[in-house]
């Protein structure tokens, strides 16, 4: 295992930049907010709020995809990035296809995800669209006030062995993405019976090939994994690229084990990107997040109890708020 440890100077440049304009903008944060964001410099030290990225094998994202890390300045100056506006301020979640037989459980699950995204992207509205059965309908529907639209499905999107599987695909330019949670269930690899039995010629718009596919049950692990994927992929819609600075939900992931290692929230550098795009007060975002994570253990009679990660997240959010709200 290798720890990626950036120097304090490198993290400072990534967070604040050397530009006078961006330093001025940074100085508009309150002293508490700055102290909190600069907690990132202490990554790896005992009691630190943020951790360093660890690389466990050559198949992890960073060794497999060498790319220029995106610091705050390159994000800020990226002309292609999208910012919510008064007329485009809604993130839509569109469920596609069947989510299994337990309809009430599915509805609660999707509503739970919606609420989770709502607190995570504090300041924009997150709404659900009525379920559609096929992808082509999804593609043609984009409400006028949409900042982006995220399609989610339990159908495995890559049913052929030769298709390198991914958990989702997002297009920043169109503000649309579609993600499958089928492989987020631990039983997927054990009991998956949905592979194509033989090569079939598909007619355009014929999705019957997906009939009878394995649909995972809604488990706490599925909730955790899908929460991370949703927020990661929506983060891309804002133009936030894969994080190479600190342990962060925006880290790229090549495999399930690597995505499981990601924390639920942003590092300070990615947080500043999101804050500039949406304009929330940092403490307010953590407060609503804390309420959501605190309520996670009472997530409704149909949903399973959430994993330890949400409890740890609750404690972490409390610590963040202590820094953000303490007198200097
Ligand atoms: Zn990604
Ligand atoms: Zn980050």
137 plus 248 within the same structural domain: no
138 plus 192 within the same structural domain: yes
The larger pLDDT score, comparing residue 206 to residue 170, is at: 170
Ligand index nearest the alpha carbon of residue 168: 1
State the distance from the centre of ligand 1 to the C-alpha of 70, rounded, in angstroms. 13
- CB of 100 within 8 A of CB of 217? yes
Residue 234 lies in a domain: no
State the distance from the centre of ligand 1 to the C-alpha of 252, rounded, in angstroms. 5
Q: What percent of the chain has pLDDT over 70?
A: 75
State the distance from the centre of ligand 2 to the C-alpha of 264, rounded, in angstroms. 11
State the distance from the centre of ligand 2 to the C-alpha of 101, rounded, in angstroms. 37
220 plus 103 within the same structural domain: yes
For residue 323, the tally of other CB atoms under 10 A from its CB is 17
Structure token digits, residue 50: 């943020």
Provide mean pLDDT across the span 313-320: 93
Provide mean pLDDT across the span 93-114: 77
State the distance from the centre of ligand 2 to the C-alpha of 231, rounded, in angstroms. 12
123 plus 176 within the same structural domain: yes
Q: Which of 75-79, 159-163, 188-192, 261-265 has the lowest mean pLDDT?
A: 159-163
Rounded Cα distance, 252 and 53, in Å: 11
- For tokens 């695909």, what's the residue? 169
Question: Ligand 2 is a single-atom ion; what residues have CB below 5 A from it?
Answer: 243, 248, 250, 267, 270
Residue 172 lies in a domain: yes
197 plus 283 within the same structural domain: no
| β-bridge pairing 90-96 and 125-132 | parallel
For residue 328, the tally of other CB atoms under 10 A from its CB is 6
Q: Which domain does 112 fall in, by range? A: 90-228
Rounded Cα distance, 2 and 46, in Å: 18
Rounded Cα distance, 168 and 231, in Å: 12
117 plus 222 within the same structural domain: yes
311: which residues sit within 8 A by CB, 6+ positions away? Answer: 293, 296, 297
Rounded Cα distance, 81 and 287, in Å: 27
pTM for this structure? 0.86
Task: Report, as residue numbers or ranges, the catalytic residues.
Answer: 233
Query: Across the chain, what does the average pLDDT equal?
Result: 82
52 plus 175 within the same structural domain: no
Q: Which of 78-82, 160-164, 251-255, 256-260 has the lowest mean pLDDT?
A: 160-164
| pLDDT tens, residue by residue, 155-197 | 766 544 544 444 556 677 778 887 777 776 665 555 544 443 3
94 plus 211 within the same structural domain: yes
In this predicted structure, what is the pLDDT of residue 83? 95
Domain-terminating residue out of 228, 254, 289 = 228
CATH of the domain at 199: 3.40.390
75 plus 143 within the same structural domain: no
Rounded Cα distance, 99 and 246, in Å: 35
Ligand index nearest the alpha carbon of residue 270: 2
Q: What percent of the chain has pLDDT over 90?
A: 50
In this structure, the dihedral spanned by the alpha carbons of residues 262, 266, 269 and 273, taken in order and rounded to 10 degrees, is: 130
The CA–CA distances, whole Å, from 131 to 144, 179, 269 equal 18, 14, 35
113 plus 157 within the same structural domain: yes
- CB of 274 within 8 A of CB of 248? no
State the distance from the centre of ligand 1 to the C-alpha of 124, rounded, in angstroms. 21
117 plus 212 within the same structural domain: yes
In this predicted structure, what is the pLDDT of residue 197? 39
Ligand index nearest the alpha carbon of residue 166: 1
Number of domains in the chain: 2
Residue 161 lies in a domain: yes
Domain-terminating residue out of 202, 228, 254 = 228
116: which residues sit within 8 A by CB, 6+ positions away? Answer: 227, 230, 231, 292
Residue 214 lies in a domain: yes
Let me know the angle formed at the C-alpha of 4 by 12 and 245, rounded to the nearest 5 degrees: 40
In this predicted structure, what is the pLDDT of residue 135? 59
274-308 burial code (b ≥16 CB/10 A, e <16): bbbbbebebbebbbbbbebbeebeebeeebbebbe
The larger pLDDT score, comparing residue 253 to residue 301, is at: 253
The larger pLDDT score, comparing residue 132 to residue 150, is at: 150
In this predicted structure, what is the pLDDT of residue 162? 46
171 plus 263 within the same structural domain: no
Ligand index nearest the alpha carbon of residue 232: 1
Structure token digits, residue 73: 């300045």
Q: Long-range pairs for 102-110 at CB < 8 Å and ≥24 separation? A: 102/217, 102/218, 102/302, 104/302, 105/218, 105/302, 105/303, 106/218, 108/299, 108/300, 108/302, 108/303, 109/218, 109/223, 109/303, 110/152
Residue 168 lies in a domain: yes
Type and span of the H or E element at 54 = strand 53-55
In this predicted structure, what is the pLDDT of residue 130? 85
Residue 295 lies in a domain: yes
Please tell me which of 9-13, 61-65, 309-313 the model is most confident about, judged by mean pLDDT: 9-13
Domain-terminating residue out of 197, 228, 259 = 228
Residue 237 lies in a domain: no
128: which residues sit within 8 A by CB, 6+ positions away? Answer: 92, 93, 94, 95, 110, 111, 114
| pLDDT tens, residue by residue, 1-33 | 899 999 999 999 999 999 999 999 999 999 999
Residue 313 lies in a domain: no
């Amino acid at each position: 295992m290798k720890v990626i440890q950036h120097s304090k100077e490198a993290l400072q440049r990534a967070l604040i930049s050397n530009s006078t304009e961006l330093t001025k903008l940074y100085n508009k944060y309150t002293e508490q907010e700055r102290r909190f964001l600069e907690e990132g410099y202490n990554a790896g030290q005992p009691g630190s709020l943020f951790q360093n990225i660890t690389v466990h094998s050559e198949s992890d994202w960073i060794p497999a995809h060498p790319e220029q890390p995106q610091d705050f300045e390159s994000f800020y100056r990226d002309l292609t990035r999208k910012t919510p506006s008064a007329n485009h301020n809604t993130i839509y979640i569109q469920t596609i296809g069947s989510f299994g037989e337990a309809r009430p459980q599915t509805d609660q699950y999707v509503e739970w995800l919606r609420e989770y995204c709502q607190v995570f992207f504090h300041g924009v509205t997150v709404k659900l669209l009525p379920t559609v059965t096929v992808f082509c309908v999804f593609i043609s529907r984009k409400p006028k006030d949409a900042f982006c639209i995220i399609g989610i499905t339990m159908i495995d999107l890559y049913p052929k062995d030769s298709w390198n599987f991914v958990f989702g695909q997002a297009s920043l330019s169109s503000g649309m993405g579609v993600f499958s949670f089928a492989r987020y269930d631990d039983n997927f690899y054990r009991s998956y019976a949905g592979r194509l039995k033989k090569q079939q010629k598909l007619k355009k718009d014929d999705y019957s090939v997906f009939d009878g596919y394995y649909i995972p049950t809604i488990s706490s692990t599925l909730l955790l994994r899908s929460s991370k994927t949703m927020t990661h992929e929506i983060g891309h819609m804002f133009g936030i690229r894969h994080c190479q600075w600190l342990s962060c939900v925006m880290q790229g992931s090549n495999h399930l084990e690597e995505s499981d290692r990601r924390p639920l929230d942003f590092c300070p550098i990615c947080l500043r990107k999101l804050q500039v795009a949406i304009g929330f007060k940092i403490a307010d975002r953590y407060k609503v997040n804390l309420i959501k994570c605190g309520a996670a253990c009472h997530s409704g009679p149909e949903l399973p109890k959430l994993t330890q990660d949400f409890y740890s997240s609750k404690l972490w959010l409390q610590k963040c708020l202590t820094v953000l709200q303490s007198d200097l």
